[in-house]
Structure 1
C-alpha cells in the first residue's frame, strides 16, 4: 500500500510539471501576436484619423471659399441696390377705370414716363455688366420704340457721356431688344452713317452733332447705361 501511494504522488507531480512547462512556452508567442495586432490596429487608426482630418480640412476650406464668394456677391448686390434705391416707391395719382388701382408708382429716384420707369446708372460698365445690374432689380436696359420715348430719356443725361441701351446684334446685323420685343426699323434713331462696324455689336445712346441718337459700339467698352422697368399700380 505504501508503494502505491508513492507512485500516485509521483505521477501527479509529473503531470503538474508537464502542464506548467507547456503553459509557460506558449505565453510569449501569444503575447507577440497580440502586440502585432495592436500595432496593425494602431497604424490603421492613425491612417484613418489623418484621412479624416484631411477631409475635414478640405471641407472647411471649401466652405470658407463658398462663404467668401456668397459674401462678395451679397456686397455687390447691396451696392447695386443702394445705388438704384429700389426699396422705396414714389407714387402719383392715377386716373384709372379700375377702382382698386389708384396709384402709379416708380422706385425712388427713377423717372416715370408712360407705363415705364427709367434710371440712369452713374458708373461705367460693359454691356453685359450693365444688363446684369438692371436685371438684379427686376429691370432691363432701356428699350425704345417711339420718338416720344427717345426724346424723353436724354433729358437727364450728360451730353459728354454715352449710355448703353438694350439693343444688340445677335449676328449678321440681326438687331434684337433685351425684352424680346420686335425690332422695328421704322422706329429707330441711328446717327447718320450708323451702324458702321460689323465688330461693334452693342448700341449706345449719345449726343453727336447737336442731337441724341444711336451708334454701334464694342460690348466690352465701359459706358454708362439706362435701366427700364414697368410701373407698379397700387
Structure 2
C-alpha cells in the first residue's frame, strides 16, 4: 500500500472514530439530560414533600393549640363550677346538679346562684328525662324544685328563673293548679306546683358558656 492510500485509510478510520466518539458524547449527553430530569423531578417531589410536611406541622400546631384552649376551658369550667357532683348533657351544653337538701324555692334559687347557676330550666323531653334520671338517683319518690314559677306582674304567666323562654312543659294531669312554683316528681318526671315555702330538694343547672 502506498503512503497516500495508507493516509486515506487512516483518515477514514479517524473519521469513523470521530463519529463513534460523537455518538458516545451524544449518548452521554442524553443520559445526563435524563439524569438531570430525574433529579429535577426528585427535587420537585422533595419540595412538595417538604411543603406537605410543613402543612401537616401547621395543622398539628393548630390542633395542639385548640386542645390547649379546650383543656384550659375545661379547667376553668371545673374551677368555676366546682364540678364535684355536676353532670353534663351535650345536647344542651349545660351542667346539672341535684341538691339533696330541703329548702324553700327562694332559698334553693339563692343556693344555685351562689354556685353561678339557677334552678334548672327545662326545654325538651330529652332534657327533662336527663334531669329526671338525676333526681331518681337521689330519691325516686320525691318532688324537686325546678326554676319555673308564676310572675304576678305578667298575668301569672310562668317564667324560668334564668330568664330563658318557656317552650316546654311536662305537667301531670290536673296541673298546674292555683299555686305558683313548680317541682319535678322523681317517680315519673312530671311536674306540679307547690307553695314556695315548702322545703324540698332541688336541681341547679347552668349553661357551660361563660
Structure 1 and Structure 2 fold alike (TM over 0.5): yes
Which of 164, 171, 194 matches 2:145?
A: 164
The superposition leaves residues 18-71 of structure 1 with CA deviations (integer Å, 9 ceiling, x where unpaired) of xxxxxxxxxxxxxxxxxxxxxxxxxxxxxxxxxxxxxxxxxxxxxxxxxxxxxx
Summarize the alignment of residues 190-229 of structure 1 with structure 2, pairs less than 5 Å apart.
190-196=171-177, 198=178, 200-207=179-186, 211-229=188-206
Distance in 2, Cα, partners of 1:136 & 1:164: 16
The superposition leaves residues 151-209 of structure 1 with CA deviations (integer Å, 9 ceiling, x where unpaired) of 1111132221110001100123300011111212xx2111111102x2x110000045x
1:125, distance to aligned residue in structure 2 (A): 0.5
1:132, distance to aligned residue in structure 2 (A): 0.4
Would you tell me which structure has more helix in proportion to its own residues? Answer: 2
Question: How does the TM-score come out when normalised to structure 1?
Answer: 0.52
1:100, distance to aligned residue in structure 2 (A): 5.2
Distance in 1, Cα, partners of 2:69 & 2:127: 24
The superposition leaves residues 65-115 of structure 1 with CA deviations (integer Å, 9 ceiling, x where unpaired) of xxxxxxxxxxxxxxxxxxxxxxxxxxxxxx9x9565324455122111121
**Off by >3 Å, runs of 4+ in structure 1:** 97-101, 103-106
Question: How does the TM-score come out when normalised to structure 2?
Answer: 0.57
Q: RMSD over aligned Cα, in angstroms?
A: 2.2
Secondary structure of the structure 2 residue equivalent to 1:154: helix
Which of 50, 66, 70 matches 1:102?
A: 70
Query: Given the alignment of the two structures, is residue 183 of structure 1 paired with residue 166 of structure 2, yes or no?
Result: yes
Distance in 2, Cα, partners of 1:227 & 1:181: 14
Which of 123, 141, 157 matches 2:119?
A: 141
Partner of 1:126: 104
Distance in 1, Cα, partners of 2:126 & 2:141: 22
Partner of 1:174: 157
Asked whether the equivalents of residues 100 and 201 of structure 2 are also in contact (C-alpha less than 8 Å), the reply is yes
Secondary structure of the structure 2 residue equivalent to 1:145: coil
Asked whether the equivalents of residues 144 and 186 of structure 2 are also in contact (C-alpha less than 8 Å), the reply is no
Structure 2 residue runs without a partner (length 5+): 1-62
Distance in 1, Cα, partners of 2:201 & 2:157: 24
